[in-house]
Amino acid sequence: VYNIRPPLPAVGGNEGVAEVVEAGAQVSDLQKGDWVLPAAPGFGTWRTLAVAPAASFIRVRSDIPAEYAATVSVNPCTAYRMLRDFVALKPGDVIMQNGSNSAVGVAVIQLARRMRVRTINIIRDRPDLSYVLSRLTSWGADLVFTEDEIRGPKAREALAKLPKPVLGLNCVGGTSAAEVARLLADGAQLITYGGMSRKPVTVPTGTLIFNDIVVRGFWMSRWIATHSRAERSAMLDDLLEMIHNGELEANIETVPFARFSDALLRSKQGYRTHKVVLKFE
């Protein structure tokens, strides 16, 4: 279902970080030892070596953990854009999201906290719920409910104490999107960026008619294609600075390429606690 499908055979891998081992004689802006990210989606990062024009890469700082550099360009950037490009958020505003323990979701929580924007978060019920709750709360989540709890009295009481959310972020689709939509403020925007349930986005009719909800989508690859390299570098620098300062964390597990099949199996499992990152050497 993904919108980018390279002609086969192809090297997999949309994102990652690489170290420059050699620069061509006419390359002036990259040198041996620099860390680089692919400039365009679909580079094919599951490899030990690549030869490409210097313009295919964006140099990034190398004083942060490699697994953070490897995973900054899609999920944290998506969170960054969605908090800036749709609603002019101000301190004290409230936003709401589902899939809140996803890599995008945890970045949303931490970036919102820096903006002094409060977050209402929905996650799936799961065996290690208390661990996930404590992680999200430590990153600044204001309220966290399971998909069942969000309909109940506990959530109703807590939500009544907050202004209604002006922005909703939908990673899941199906009825989970409906739960976000029905709790939004009049005129709020509901942004769909993922479809993890593989179900169509359901939006209650009344939220469109009576509450004037605006339903839109976001795709990082489209943003990259329609914005300058300088704009992208500025965003990456901002996020990497936060990572360097310990203001933006993620749960990441690095698996060596020798355990490739183990990594694939783990990444397919639901209720993961960590993002699985492959290390090629």
Catalytic site positions: 2
Tell me the closest approach of the beta carbon of residue 233 to ligand NAP, in angstroms.
Answer: 18
Residue whose tokens read 């204001």 = 142
Does residue 257 touch ligand NAP according to CB under 6 A? no
Q: With CB under 6 A as the contact rule, which of the stretches 32-40, 113-121, 195-203, 238-246 interacts with ligand NAP? A: 195-203
Smallest Cα–Cα separation from 42: which of 11, 84, 8?
A: 11
Give the residue, chosen from 38, 99, 165, 168, that forms a contact with ligand NAP under the rule CB under 6 A: 99
Binding mask 36-75 for ligand NAP (x = CB under 6 A): --------------------------------------xx
Tell me the closest approach of the beta carbon of residue 178 to ligand NAP, in angstroms.
Answer: 13
Does residue 196 touch ligand NAP according to CB under 6 A? yes
Q: What is the DSSP string of 199-233?
A: EEE---HHHHHTT--EEEE--HHHHHHHS-HHHHH
* H helical segments located in the chain: 66-70, 75-82, 103-114, 129-138, 153-160, 174-183, 205-209, 220-226, 229-244, 260-268
Does residue 145 touch ligand NAP according to CB under 6 A? no
CA atoms within 13 A on the CB side of 22: 5
Residue showing the smallest CB distance to ligand NAP in the complex: 194
Q: CB-wise, 104 or 166, nearer to ligand NAP?
A: 104
Task: Classify residue 137 as exposed, middle or buried by CB count within 10 Å of its CB (0-12, 13-18, 19+).
Answer: middle
Does residue 171 touch ligand NAP according to CB under 6 A? yes
Tell me the closest approach of the beta carbon of residue 41 to ligand NAP, in angstroms.
Answer: 9
Amino acid found at 140: G
Does residue 110 touch ligand NAP according to CB under 6 A? no
Backbone angles phi, psi at 235, to 5 degrees: -65, -45
Q: With CB under 6 A as the contact rule, which of the stretches 156-164, 187-195, 225-233, 257-265 interacts with ligand NAP? A: 187-195
- End-to-end CA distance of the chain, in Å? 31
Amino acid found at 30: L
Does residue 86 touch ligand NAP according to CB under 6 A? no
Smallest Cα–Cα separation from 55: which of 41, 32, 38?
A: 38
Interacting positions 210-229 with ligand NAP (CB under 6 A): 218-220
Tell me which residues touch ligand NAP (CB under 6 A).
74-75, 78, 99, 101-104, 124, 126, 171-172, 193-197, 218-220, 270-272, 275
